[in-house]
Amino acid sequence: MCPTLPFPKLYTTTSFGDFVYIHLLPSSKPISAFLDLSLKLLHHHHQSITMVLSKTASESDVSVHSTFASRYVRTSLPRFKMAENSIPKEAAYQIINDELMLDGNPRLNLASFVTTWMEPECDKLMMASINKNYVDMDEYPVTTELQNRCVNIIAHLFNAPLEESESAVGVGTVGSSEAIMLAGLAFKRKWQNKRRAEGKPIDNPNIVTGANVQVCWEKFARYFEVELKEVKLKEGYYVMDPEKAVEMVDENTICVAAILGSTLNGEFEDVKRVNDLLVEKNKETGWDTPIHVDAASGGFIAPFLYPELEWDFRLPLVKSINVSGHKYGLVYAGIGWVIWRNKEDLPEELIFHINYLGADQPTFTLNFSKGSSQVIAQYYQLIRLGFEGYRNVMENCRENMIVLKEGLEKTKRFNIVSKDEGVPLVAFSLRDNHRHDEFEISDLLRRFGWIVPAYTMPPDAQHVTVLRVVIREDFSRTLAERLVNDIQKVLHELDTLPSKLSSNVKAADGEDGKPAETRALESKKSDLEKTREITTIWRKFVTARKQKMNVVC
């Protein structure tokens, strides 16, 4: 039996008779470490083993290859150009499937807020409607009706002031990014209309928000020429400060954007405090600066876990809210919603009316054609789960978050940056990151399949680095406990390794004071000598045991 070799990701082996061929992969450790290992193995295992060292060449980037497709296709496919000829459907499927196997496991992607699991019945509905164009309202009136039902259900969930028979004003979007673009455009146009009526300039609009906003707000500001005035953060306080935000409001402010569930640490910003301060400032100045709530992550959490929290249309200055259906709305990626308080908050001139699809259709979107699947899936979740079902899911997420948080606290190695009230996630940083930092933990956790992001905070807290684990519906208590165990293994491994800083210094200067170039030449010479020594020992082993029973690995 062949001895088990360490470093399983650094080599592959094949055997033939008395020979074991070890192929070093491109990611292998330096040759000297491997030669040391080989010597130890030969001295401790009395077997007839001959090892041939080789270096596997990386595949060309010019073509796409597939082992399973070889029975159908005899030539490689060009990677960046269309092939001249067709290939069998089985081959196309296998080629793509083979490449996709190298993607990460969505269930273990703890960086993402996006839903990665739905019930099989909903999957069937999505596949059955994947060929329906969502925008073709005349051809697919039922799909349009389901979208309108979703808008009204969400508007009532957010306490929109609607009369009994009054319809809500809102639209389905491709995630919260499009929703924020639409809401921002509505604010900008309303501000422009008011300024024109007063005979004032309209060339310098701005939005006040915290430095913790998602990048889509920066995109809106740049694409639509609106200044983004950001309230800087500080260590220990990683959301927008309401007092500082309202101080930054001026006559050109089209809205204050508050975040219900910061992507950095899941914390809810104090929307009510912003509203109260802004009411007073509007009275003093005569302005009517409104509020938009970016509830991408928290919009489907707060109503179920914190029903008494005032953040939505119960506050008079909140004029629009966006929410991501593909986050805690529990739908696969590609669906968001934006809801306006009433019709007056969405300027009519932004709504287009088209009739070339068969009937007059009002539309207010940045995108046009898109699939209907996510809208139908959202409606499925809303009627399937109901208020009770959503509350159960969110409570389970919160409980699993607490399990993970307590497990990390028991290690006594981390500071918890996230809050108990907010999006169910755990953001944490090392208490001592002088020897090893959070980025190293993130890298090493990938060995176990976990994708845990490490990132620095925005200004003025950019010196703080955190790791973040988002707790979704498919993240069970068992997975939480397993993650804690794997983090402990990573910490133990890091404790045995030299720090990055000391390694870099040693690599640059040399522990013995020798120049790096000299040490590199000596290392090469040493490797050559070790190779010769190993070859001599192998030959002796093979000759001495040639007549004995062969052992095949």
CA distances from residue 276 to 187, 246, 310 in whole angstroms, order as listed: 20, 10, 11
Report yes or no: 294 and 262 within 8 Å, Cβ to Cβ. Answer: no
CATH architecture of the domain 123-385 equals: 3-Layer(aba) Sandwich (3.40)
CB 275 within 8 A of CB 313: no
On whether the CB atoms of residues 467 and 451 are closer than 8 A, the answer is: no
**Whole-angstrom distance, CA of residue 1 vs CA of residue 553:** 5
What was the pLDDT predicted at 51? 44
Taking Cα atoms as reference points, which of 142, 150, 186, 183 lies closest to residue 168?
A: 150
Residue 50's pLDDT is: 41
- Residue 512 dihedral angles phi and psi, to the nearest 5°: -95, 5
Domains 123-385 and 389-496 belong to one CATH topology:
no
User: What's the confidence (pLDDT) of residue 326?
Assistant: 97
Rounded distance between C-alpha atoms, residue 131 and residue 148, angstroms: 20
Helical segments of 132-174, H only: 141-157
CATH number of 389-496: 3.90.1150.160
What does pTM read for this prediction?
Answer: 0.78
Q: Confirm if 116 and 472 have CB atoms less than 8 A apart.
A: yes
Helix and strand totals (H; E) in the chain: 14, 18
pLDDT (0 to 100) of residue 8: 47
Q: What number of other Cβ atoms are within 10 A of residue 533's Cβ?
A: 14
Residues 376, 421: Cα–Cα separation, whole Å: 31
Could you tell me the mean pLDDT of each successive run of 10 residues in the chain, 553 residues long? 47 51 52 51 45 47 57 76 88 88 91 95 96 84 93 98 92 95 97 96 97 95 97 95 98 98 97 98 97 98 98 98 98 97 94 69 82 96 98 98 97 96 97 94 95 94 95 95 97 90 54 52 52 62 52 36
Place of tokens 């290859």: 65
* 109 SS3 class: strand
**Confidence at residue 79, expressed as pLDDT on a 0 to 100 scale:** 86
Token digits of residue 513: 């004071």
Q: How many whole angstroms separate alpha carbon 300 and alpha carbon 340?
A: 17
| Other residues' Cβ atoms within 10 Å of the Cβ of residue 548 | 10
Give the residue from 228, 247, 245 showing the smallest Cα distance to 237: 245
- Residue 113 in contact with residue 472, Cβ under 8 Å? yes
pLDDT at 53: 47
Distance CA 348, CA 186 (A): 9
The domain ranges of the chain are 123-385, 389-496
Per-residue pLDDT at 528: 55
Residue from 440, 470, 444, 439 nearest 455 by CA: 439
Q: Which of 228, 188, 191 is nearest to 206 (CA)?
A: 228
* 122, 124, 127, 132 alpha-carbon torsion, rounded to 10°: -70
Report how far residue 36's alpha carbon sits from residue 514's, in angstroms, rounded to the nearest whole number. 23
Q: Give dist(CA 159, CA 389) in Å, integer.
A: 19
Cβ atoms 264, 212 nearer than 8 A = yes
